[in-house]
Amino acid sequence: MPLFTRTHPAPAPVHASAPVPAPETWTPEGTLVSQRYRALEGATVLVYTADADRGTAYYAAACLGCTYRKDETTAHNPMPEAEAANAANGHASACRAMPRGVPARPENPEAVELVRSRLRRHRYRTGPRRVHIADFNALRVDIQRSTPWIKALLESLAQTEPGFLTATPTSDGQGTCFTVQPFGRP
C-alpha cells in the first residue's frame, strides 16, 4: 500500500427526485454566474451578478468552501466584473478550503434575518441611507432568493417597521426607493 494513499469518501445517497447540482455548475437563485475559479484545495469561487436596480450590473465574489464574500471595492463602491474577477482569482490563489458542495437553501425566517442584518448595519450612520438591490449581491449565495423576493421583503419591512425602513415612489413612478433610517439620536 502506498504511503500517501488518499481514499475518496463514498458519495452520499441522493433522492432521485432531488438531484444536487455540483458546485462547478451551480448558480444561486437570483444570480447570473459569469466566472468560476478553483481554490487550492478544490473549493469553487464564483463571480456573479444579480438583476440591477440602477441599470448597471454590479458583481460579487463568493467562495463555496469558506465564508469569503466580497461585493465592494476598497473605496466601498460596488464592483464591476473585472474587479470581482480579480478579487475571486486572488482569493482562489490563497484559499485552502475543501469543497463543501452547494450550500443549503435557508428557510424563509433565516433568509429574512440575513437581509435584516445587512440593512441594520446602515442604521449606525448619522443620516438615512438609500438601499439598492446591488447592496445584497454578497448575500445572494447565502439567501438564495430572487430579486422580486428581496423587493417584496423590503416593501413588507417598510410597511411594518417605518422607523427602520421607508419606501417612497421613484421620481418616474416606475419603482420604489427604500431608505434605511438611522437609530434615533437624542
3-state DSSP assignment of residue 165 = strand
Compute CA 130 distance to the chain's CA centroid, rounded to the nearest angstrom.
18
Q: What is the pLDDT of residue 150?
A: 94
pTM comes to 0.79
Q: Directed axis angle between helix 147-160 and helix 108-120, to 10°?
A: 70
Answer with the residue of higher pLDDT: 126 or 36: 36
Q: Which of 69, 61, 8 is nearest to 36 (CA)?
A: 61
What's the full length of the chain, in residues?
186
Structural domains of the chain sorted by starting position, each given as residue range(s) with its CATH number in brackets: 31-94 (no CATH), 108-180 (1.10.10)
Q: Summarize pLDDT for 87-131 with one digit per residue, the tens.
A: 999 999 999 999 988 889 999 999 999 999 999 988 888 889 999
Closest CA to 60 of 81, 29, 38: 81
- Residue 173 is predicted with a pLDDT of 75
Could you report how far apart the first and last alpha carbons of the chain are, in Å?
73
User: Between these two residues, 45 and 22, which has the higher pLDDT value?
Assistant: 45
Alpha-carbon distance 139 to 177, whole Å? Answer: 20
